[in-house]
A and B are shown apart, each in its own frame.
Chain A
């Protein structure tokens, strides 16, 4: 158990819908990262938040957005869902995640999203 929790574990929805994935980082961790794992794209970095502020963006679609709240939990919002958005979405947390730092990223168990 990494200490990172993600809810829900599974999500099945239809095209065009909007969903919210939730992540609670390990106690004391200030950084949250979101990754997408799909069969065709592999594991891809989406976005990073540090203490409530966006720090880096990867190939995140405009239909996707995220935020980190004052209690440090994070939500990833996916809208206008398409079949290709079906994937496993991971959240990871680390103590800092600042420039030049090497703190380990601890991954949650993931949310499996299926878009029908």
Chain B
């Protein structure tokens, strides 16, 4: 079984500052890793995903994440945030060998960007 831990439930940050949202996972098998964003009153939108290859993954809206196998982490970063980045961010894993690719989500991190 897999589990995902997002280490911060809320992250307040000022506009144009860098941000890191932390995610650790636990799994007995190889996994795919994802970050999704949920804007208020909307569904989830994929930011980026790690499948294989380079451990640094670039996504939409200037976000990137780094896969660290030894630390079982997949932290999300952005060098300079905007007010519009205020949203909830979810880290998720899916089992490489699992039939169907269901997503196991972390509890979410609420990013609040202040002017």
Contacts and interface: CB of A to CB of B under 8 A. Distances in A.
Nearest to B32: A102
A102 B50 CA distance: 10
Q: How large is the interface on B (under 10, 10 to 19, 20 to 34, 35 or more residues)?
A: 20 to 34
B99 A55 contact: yes
- Name the prevailing secondary structure of the B interface residues: loop
B100 A99 contact: yes
Contacts of B51: 102
Contacts of A100: 96-97
A56 B98 contact: yes
A103 B94 CA distance: 11
Interface residues of A, number: 31
A102 B33 CA distance: 10
B115 interface: no
Chain A to chain B: the 8 pairs with minimum beta-carbon distance, closest first = A107-B43, A43-B105, A107-B44, A99-B99, A55-B100, A56-B100, A45-B102, A48-B100
Interface of B: 32, 36, 41-46, 49, 51, 90, 96-108
Given A2-B43, A42-B108, 20 more contacts: A33-B102, A42-B105, A42-B106, A58-B102, A90-B43, A90-B44, A94-B101, A98-B99, A98-B100, A98-B101, A99-B97, A99-B98, A100-B96, A102-B49, A103-B101, A105-B103, A107-B45, A108-B43, A109-B42, A110-B43
